[in-house]
Amino acid sequence: MEKFVPLGNEALAQGALDAGMSGIYAYPGTPSTEIMEYVQRSKEAAARGIHRQWSANEKTALEAALGMSYAGKRAMVCMKHVGLNVAADPFMNAAITGANGGLIVTVADDPSMHSSQNEQDSRYYGRYAMVPILEPADQQEAYDLPKYAFELSEKHAIPVLVRLTTRLSHSRADIVRGEALPENALAIPANLRQFVLLPAVSRRNYAHLLEKQRDFEREAEQSFLTRYEDGPDKSLGIVACGIAYNYLMENYPDGCPHPVLKIGQYPVPTRLVAQLVEACESILVLEEGAPLVEEMLRGYPFDSGKVRGRLDGTLPRAGELNPNLVAKGLGRDVPEPGYTTPDILVGRPPQLCDGCPHGDTYRALNEALEAYSKGRVFSDIGCYTLGALPPYNAINSCVDMGASITMAKGATDAGLAPAVAVIGDSTFSHSGMTGLLDVVNANAPVKVVIVDNQTTAMTGGQDSPATGQIEQIAMGLGVPEEHVRVITPLPRQHEANVAVIREELGYEGVSVIIARRECIETAKRRRKSS
């Protein structure tokens, strides 16, 4: 068999294909993007006609996956951690409807915020919704996981949350593939009210969900992702969740002398935890992300001091783990690095590409805004967020998908007018349209600059859901046609662009200025392939 050396994301994707998945739904977001991209490239997925188109956002993606589950087929939805905030409504309620066909909700967390605005830990969401959570430690587990997860989902009629973190998502390893399963046949739920969350149904379903918690915990205890590995030195017992297990074992290549509870499935298998706590003098909890298990073990206010981890400073409270941090946490001698960096070293932050259209837009916007006081440009999530850095210093906010438009509206409500919102075409279709409707209804003096590079650029150039439809969407939402302006962000258009932006800044209602030029990266790729 051909050697298979996938990223963790690709291993999960191939595992889902081999587990009879009929559809995958996603909106791109680092570090989750490659799961969908792998399926889109897969010849096998094409031959089977698996649904594999990007969705407009994580909420629509999760709802569509739930619909496929309703119809009896196996579906997976993928997103980055903050995407689950967008999809939180269907996620929480899917725990109440339950699943019919197997339903996997895969969320890739980004501890240390390599490419994100926070490092929230999705396991809290799983706990909140009271659904099983699976957390693979390596690429082989990521591949093996979907078959198990779809079965678990169908056995208990419950969506299953799969939690990945950046290092597993974006690391390759050689793995072994297994047999492929056929897809499910179409089969609507036996109970046609299962998905009708009227209060009477919800209360019944919720009671059922509460009853199932004990089963979920037993499943976690017996899971192939969970393991109790005994060791002779009981002065310390170690709980290692997900990828933290690898960092632990890196420190003990010939076997860990301490008992280890490797946790790869939740709810936390409390019987195994009790076994470890009883056997050992103290407990060290290693988990990537937030101290979720550690908090549970500490049992405030009866904290005995027996448990160590991120909360007492044994490990850093924030950021991802690595072998050296774990070694320090274990109290092992960590050799100081032989070399240090010389003083002449300087940072090299990311920046807009040479010739990027966003640079031209920011130069024009900055010049048009010279007549106004500073601090009135709200922006959003995408490559253009780099406009916050020199030489542009052009934007004053970046919070969440779509927030540029609504924050600008709030600022104008407060009297900071005009205000500008800079948002990408893909982000606009993801979460900007409803905010624009609010602005239109208030006729607030918000100038929405849609930097339309006709792609989802930051994550590598995926299709943008509203390509070719931005003007119609803006006008359809009620922006007057004469205030929907299109400019071409090119150096030779600079004066004309400044003039258009100035004109609209002088208008007291809502304006949409579409700065349209294709991303130079996707343009390059298109030229190469044609």
Partner 1 sequence: MKYDIILAGVGGQGVLSIAAIIGMAAVDAGLRMKQSEVHGMSQRGGEVQSHLRIADRRIFSDLIPAGSADMLLSMEPLEALRYLPHLSPDGVIVAEQNPLVNIPNYPALEDVLVALRAYPQATLVDGQGIARALRATRSSNMVLLGAASAFLPLPAADFEAAISKIFGRKGGAVVAQNVEAFRQGRGLTTTAQAG
Q: Which residues bind partner 1 (CB under 8 A)?
A: 3, 5, 7, 30-31, 33-34, 114-115, 167-168, 170-174, 243, 245-247, 249-250, 253, 322-324, 327, 335-342, 344-353, 383, 386, 390, 458-460
* Comparison of 140 and 270: residue with beta carbon closer to partner 1: 140
Least distance (Å) between residue 166 CB and partner 1: 9
Task: Give the position of tokens 């837009």.
Answer: 361
Contact 177, 1 (CB under 8 A): yes
Least distance (Å) between residue 154 CB and partner 1: 32
DSSP state of 491: G
* Comparison of 379 and 406: residue with beta carbon closer to partner 1: 379
Contact 512, 485 (CB under 8 A): yes
* Comparison of 65 and 330: residue with beta carbon closer to partner 1: 330
Distance of alpha carbon 44 from alpha carbon 180, whole angstroms: 11
CA torsion through residues 75, 78, 81, 86, sign: negative
Instruction: For residue 121, give the 3-state DSSP assignment.
Output: coil
Instruction: For residue 242, give the 3-state DSSP assignment.
Output: coil
> Which of 187, 188, 190, 134 lies closest to 165 in space, CA to CA?
134
Least distance (Å) between residue 322 CB and partner 1: 5
* Comparison of 246 and 412: residue with beta carbon closer to partner 1: 246
Task: Give the position of tokens 């044994």.
Answer: 314
Amino acid at 343: D
* Comparison of 72 and 387: residue with beta carbon closer to partner 1: 387
Least distance (Å) between residue 470 CB and partner 1: 23
* Comparison of 34 and 63: residue with beta carbon closer to partner 1: 34
Contact 17, 52 (CB under 8 A): no
Q: Which residues contact 520 (CB under 8 A, 6 or more apart)?
A: 353, 354, 355, 356, 357
Q: What is the DSSP track for 304-319?
A: -S-EESTTTTSS-SSS
Q: Which residues contact 408 (CB under 8 A, 6 or more apart)?
A: 378, 419, 420, 421, 439, 444, 446, 447, 448
Least distance (Å) between residue 54 CB and partner 1: 17
* Comparison of 245 and 378: residue with beta carbon closer to partner 1: 245
Least distance (Å) between residue 232 CB and partner 1: 20
Least distance (Å) between residue 391 CB and partner 1: 8
Phi and psi based region of residue 502 (left: phi greater than 0; alpha: psi -120 to 50; beta: remaining) = alpha
* Comparison of 36 and 501: residue with beta carbon closer to partner 1: 36
Contact 25, 75 (CB under 8 A): yes
Least distance (Å) between residue 261 CB and partner 1: 17
Total length of the chain: 530
* Comparison of 302 and 339: residue with beta carbon closer to partner 1: 339
Least distance (Å) between residue 386 CB and partner 1: 7
Rg of the Cα atoms in the chain: 25
CA distances from 187 to 71, 74, 91, 418 (A): 5, 11, 22, 54
* Comparison of 7 and 307: residue with beta carbon closer to partner 1: 7
Amino acid at 26: A
* Comparison of 305 and 390: residue with beta carbon closer to partner 1: 390
Distance of alpha carbon 229 from alpha carbon 162, whole angstroms: 23
Least distance (Å) between residue 346 CB and partner 1: 5
* Comparison of 321 and 512: residue with beta carbon closer to partner 1: 321
Tokens of 79: 């997103």
* Comparison of 388 and 442: residue with beta carbon closer to partner 1: 388
Contact 407, 399 (CB under 8 A): yes
What kind and span of H or E run contains 404?
helix 403-413
Least distance (Å) between residue 383 CB and partner 1: 6
Q: Are strands 236-241 and 227-229 parallel, antiparallel or unpaired?
A: unpaired
CA distances from 209 to 100, 159, 199, 364 (A): 14, 11, 15, 56
DSSP state of 136: -
Least distance (Å) between residue 338 CB and partner 1: 3
Least distance (Å) between residue 167 CB and partner 1: 5
Distance of alpha carbon 62 from alpha carbon 147, whole angstroms: 19
